[in-house]
Every structure is written in C-alpha cells, then in structure tokens.
Amino acid sequence: MSPMHELSITREILRIALAEAEKHGAKRLTAINLQIGELSGIVPESVQFYLDMLAQGTIAAGVQLKATTVPVTARCPACDATFPLDSLQFTCPTCKGPLTLLTGQELQIASIEVE
C-alpha cells in the first residue's frame, strides 16, 4: 500500500469521525476505534501518523487510533464449512471446493469516543 493511499484513507476516516462527533455536539474527538482486516494492507501506525497531522486545528487534535485486527475467515459454498484461513489456501480443507472470503478485508470505523 502506498503512503499516499493511506493518507487519502486516513483523510476519509477523519472526515467521517468528525462529522459524526459534530452531529452529536461533541467538544472533542478523543479516539477512533477502527476495525482493520488482515488483508486490507492498512498499517495502523501509518494511519495514526496521518491522523496526528490531519487533525491539527480540529476537535480531533490528539485523537488516538484504537485498531482491532480482523482475522481472515472463509466459507465453502459447496459444503458450507466456515473456518479461519491461516495461509493462502484456495480450497476448502473439508471438500476441496473453492472458497468465499468472509472477513479480513474490512476497514471500518467501529465507534468513536468523544467528550
């Protein structure tokens, strides 16, 4: 993932969080709780770096990123087995059918913390 891509993603995360905080009359946005899928390519430390920079002069100045990693899970449409993916396997360990990813690619704001 390129640094510029993470910058634009962080800008959008901050925009959404600020809009939500202001909608509820918050005086300060203190934390953003983010769910980041293992396959998303997003590095929490980079997001925090950009948040520190972008939030200056806003009610989110000093905002803390609290990231939760979402593991990769898959489902086999053939036998309906659901399981975690520990490696890059492309077939079901039960019936050898093709897989559908369920989790691991997400990037979403789970919640925000405000004062």
HEC states along 17-45?
Answer: HHHHHHHCCCCCEEEEEEEEECCCCCCHH
C-alpha of 113 from chain center: 16
The pLDDT tens digits along the chain (115 residues) read 556 688 999 999 999 999 999 999 999 999 999 999 999 999 999 999 999 999 999 999 999 999 999 999 999 999 998 988 877 777 888 898 899 989 999 999 999 999 9
CB of 65 closer than 8 Å to CB of 42: no
DSSP bridge pairs for 33:
66, 111
The pTM of the full predicted model, rounded to 2 decimals, is 0.86
Helix (H) or strand (E) holding 46: helix 44-54
Domain 3-71+104-114 CATH (choose: 3.30.2320.50, 3.30.499.10, 1.20.120.1200, 3.40.1350.10): 3.30.2320.50
Q: So where are the chain's domains?
A: 3-71+104-114
How confident is the model at residue 4, as a pLDDT?
A: 64
Q: In whole angstroms, give the CA distance from residue 12 to residue 37.
A: 17
